[in-house]
Amino acid sequence: MTAKVTIIVPIYNVEKYVRKCLTSLINQTYRDIEIWAVDDGSPDNSKEIVKELSGEDSRIKLIEKENGGYGSVLEYSIQHIKSEYFLICDPDDWLTDDAIQKLYGLAQRDDLDMVIGDRINIYGSTNEEVYVKVPENKYYKINPNMVYTKKNDIQKFAFSQPSPHAKLYRTQIARNIKFPKKVSYTDFVLYILSLADAKRIEYLPEALSYYYFDRPGNTATDLKATIINDYLVVWNSIFKQLQKKSGVDILYYRLYEQLKYSLYKYALSAPQPFDDEYTNQIFDAIVNLQNYRKNIKKVAVGSIRDKIVLDGFMNKHAYKIMAKKLVNKYNRQ
């Protein structure tokens, strides 16, 4: 029989961590699950650890594929799983024993398309634990234990943290999402485009996932110069797919804010900002978004200064100046 929930575990060079992750999944108090450990052409010993544990628990399925990056794992898995719901657990993270029971129980009770829980960040250098309220943001207030059904209210979740921690998805709303290959940050694609099609969503204010935040190789703390390419590829993938949908003004606003964040990362990582191969890609993205300036300005929130910056970005004569001013500001911080 088909399991009620599939847990997708992307596997690549994680032999130091994957045993702890899979053990946390095996120990879930809700038992009607399957665990897809998707080996993305990993060259290390991760696969052997998965094989060992799958021999102890038949719910673990080892799936091997050629390397295509995180997005290729998500796209393959979501297109092929049979369960009504899925959750992604990165192999260097782990879940509380009752995570699936609480997320799936709430989804069933309130007929939800998405359930968003909180997480705990683990800092490896100090073993410090920090509770993170995932939906907390400066843009829109998200109330716990409330079913959001209006399109605009659901889209306000876009300003929450997009990482997959403690997020349960109804498979059908994500089935047709296309993911860019061989780049990082593709969990952002899943999150934003799922919000575009979700009809019922709820925030569960409990930390159900542990995130090993600062491990070596973690993309969240990566500052290589090439990360701007990953940000832009992911941004363009979302932008193109949003154009096929209606009533997504807040999601376009979220893409505007993501462009600003990309400029922040660009300032930190690029040796010579606006004098490299990414310059035209950045400007092209801004120009494309200007086609939706009315949609964005209709829903934008913030201070007078925030609105001045937005006006600069949305102006075809001033956007280059505004982008460079922001990068210079970030460089001085």
Helix (H/G/I), strand (E/B), else coil: 201: strand
Residues 227, 174, single domain; the answer is no
End residue of a domain, out of 204, 220, 236 = 220
Residues 51, 73, single domain; the answer is yes
Residues 203, 285, single domain; the answer is no
Question: Residue 215's pLDDT is what?
Answer: 60
Mean pLDDT (the chain) is: 94
Question: Residue 192's pLDDT is what?
Answer: 98
End residue of a domain, out of 188, 220, 252 = 220
Residues 20, 128, single domain; the answer is yes
Residues 53, 142, single domain; the answer is yes
Residues 163, 308, single domain; the answer is no
Residues 238, 210, single domain; the answer is no
Residues 207, 296, single domain; the answer is no
The total number of structural domains in the chain stands at 2
Residues 207, 227, single domain; the answer is no
Task: Give the range of the structural domain holding residue 323, as residue numbers without chain letter.
Answer: 223-332
* CATH assignment at residue 156: 3.90.550.10
Q: Tens of pLDDT along 95-104?
A: 999 999 999 9
- Does the structure show a pLDDT above 90 at 134? no
Residues 206, 232, single domain; the answer is no
Residues 165, 248, single domain; the answer is no
Question: Residue 297's pLDDT is what?
Answer: 96
Q: Tens of pLDDT along 226-270?
A: 889 999 999 999 999 999 999 999 999 999 999 999 999 999 988
- Whether this prediction's pTM lies above 0.75 is answered by yes
Q: Could you report how far apart the first and last alpha carbons of the chain are, in Å? A: 56
Which contacts qualify for 248-252: CB closer than 8 Å, 24 or more apart? 248/155, 248/196, 249/152, 249/155, 249/292, 249/295, 249/296, 249/298, 249/299, 250/152, 250/155, 250/156, 250/158, 250/299, 251/155, 251/158, 251/192, 251/195, 251/196, 252/289, 252/292, 252/295, 252/296
Residues 21, 147, single domain; the answer is yes
End residue of a domain, out of 192, 220, 248 = 220
**CB-based contacts of 143, cutoff 8 Å, min separation 6:** 203
Question: Residue 224's pLDDT is what?
Answer: 73
